[in-house]
Amino acid sequence: MGRNELLGLEKRKFPRLKENMFILCSLPLSSSDEFKAITCDIGGGGLMFETERNISRESKLELELYQPIICSKNIIFSIPVLAKVVWKKEIEKDNFEQGENRYRIGIEFLEIKEEDRKRITKYVEEGI
């Protein structure tokens, strides 16, 4: 299975695409606690990323998602999103290096402009 793998059709309102996109994350009440991550998959309703941070389920995150307009990735735009952590799973591994990702975090978009959601959905559909 390659980059264009469709994920979780049976459980999700929006299909997801395995895709690596840069995101800047912060906890809303702590602007000094920003961190960077790369998405593992994305769809119109949310995304999943890996991180070394232990973020609690139900936490709210402010995200700045840097999404290509087209799959060639030569033009990128920024999408601001308010999101909620809906699940967290520890990555199973015996030993972790300093700074290595320890958690998979699933988030749901709470506040996103409808035009931005449509851009993400179109991008996913074109990548499938």
Contact (CB, 8 A) for 37 and 23: yes
Q: Which CATH class is domain 6-127?
A: mainly beta
Asked if pLDDT for residue 9 goes beyond 50, the answer is no
Q: Name which residue leads in pLDDT, 117 or 74.
A: 117
Which tokens go with 38? 């790369």
CB neighbours of 63 closer than 8 A, spacing ≥ 6? 23, 24, 25, 79, 80, 81, 82, 83, 107
Q: Residue ranges per domain, the chain?
A: 6-127
pLDDT given for residue 64 in this prediction: 95
| C-alpha dihedral, 112 to 114 to 115 to 120, nearest 10° | 70
Confidence of residue 33 (pLDDT cuts 50, 70, 90): confident
**What is the pLDDT averaged over residues 100-128?**
92
Confidence of residue 60 (pLDDT cuts 50, 70, 90): very high
Give this prediction's pTM.
0.82
